[in-house]
Structure 1
């Protein structure tokens, strides 16, 4: 990797990813066809950069617990901004025409964003208790669940923002509920082990 023998650290790349994601969220919030597509491109670019920090950390040996959780926090923030910005940049008519209800798009974006934030928080807690294997995402052909964001420009170019946002406002809370169940399962599984270790210490 070209950056291995440079002063650049994984946290630098994570920060670049965050800044690009912030710009993407703001562009989505502007609304309109042009800004929405600019925002989608920036979100995809941010997602691409997100993969480079972990790779640099592995290749260079510059791994750290703080850096890992900083990366997770940035992932959560960018994803929340994605949905929040998308909802803010839409009109109520766009959603109303789709579902037949006068629901503010920003509310849908907020629902999806909060659900995503909860998912990232619980995944972080699960990882603390069960290790990285406890939060390993499903993958198909090397592609992980979060890689679906690479398809975002197709959504914006084809005018599918409203259906995407509605689907996210339903799907994200459902997935969050699944993660809550998984979190409770991990808590129950690790609690006896913690009690045993405390008993040995005492």
Structure 2
């Protein structure tokens, strides 16, 4: 694979969280503790976004950034500390797809009083469903051995899912209406594309 593509666990965010979790090696803190922290902060951020108030949205962005860092940190602690487990992998996976799907739904709910009006929650449902489907199908594509590394690889030291970090500044600068419309289109499109790739892999 070309060197411009980001290899697994080598992104800038992986390197950052690797430094952060090193002091935790050998302590009572486990990767599952960090995954639980990711889940709790992710749900708290989604709840803040759903309120629809500007100050709540700003704080939601702060909490969301922390949640994204914890999402990286649990895997890094597991690898560095030799603490990987089948349960931990499954727990991390379901926490991730739950939080990421709820994110768009809650953004839509929060924008109900914006210029998008009642359309916003509907766009949230569409985006949430599309992202959830794309996430599940991507995992199946990777499990089937149909891709070399990940279903969607990143470039230049960034992972594809590093785009999630951008939701924090988007919250701070009032960009959620644009993000929501884009996700309502892009989520289902990625879901369909991934389904087609999985179908082709199974047919081959």
The verdict on a shared fold, with TM-score over 0.5 as the criterion, is yes
Change (3 A) 1:94 1:19: same
Aligned mates of 1:79, 1:27 — CA distance in 2: 14
Aligned mates of 1:141, 1:134 — CA distance in 2: 15
Aligned mates of 2:179, 2:154 — CA distance in 1: 21
Quick check: 1:72–1:120 contact (8 Å CA) kept in 2?
A: no
Unaligned runs of 5+ in 2: 1-21
Aligned mates of 1:159, 1:152 — CA distance in 2: 10
Using CA pairs under 8 Å that are at least 6 residues apart, name the structure with larger relative contact order, 1 or 2. Answer: 2
CA deviation digits over 1:26-67, x for unaligned, max 9? 000011211111112211110111111110111111112221
CA deviation digits over 1:144-192, x for unaligned, max 9? 1211122223222222111110111001111111111111122223xxx
Which residue does the alignment assign to 1:33? 54
TM-score of the superposed pair, with normalisation by structure 1:
0.84
SS class of match (2:28): coil
Counterpart pick for 2:168 among 150, 153, 156: 153
Report the number of matched residues.
183
Quick check: 1:25–1:86 contact (8 Å CA) kept in 2?
A: yes
Which residue does the alignment assign to 1:194? none
Q: CA deviation at 1:132?
A: 7.6
Structural RMSD (CA):
1.8
TM-score of the superposed pair, with normalisation by structure 2:
0.83
CA deviation digits over 1:49-106, x for unaligned, max 9? 111111011111111222112211111111111111100111265226xxxxxx5211
Range that drifts further, 87-96 or 38-47: 87-96
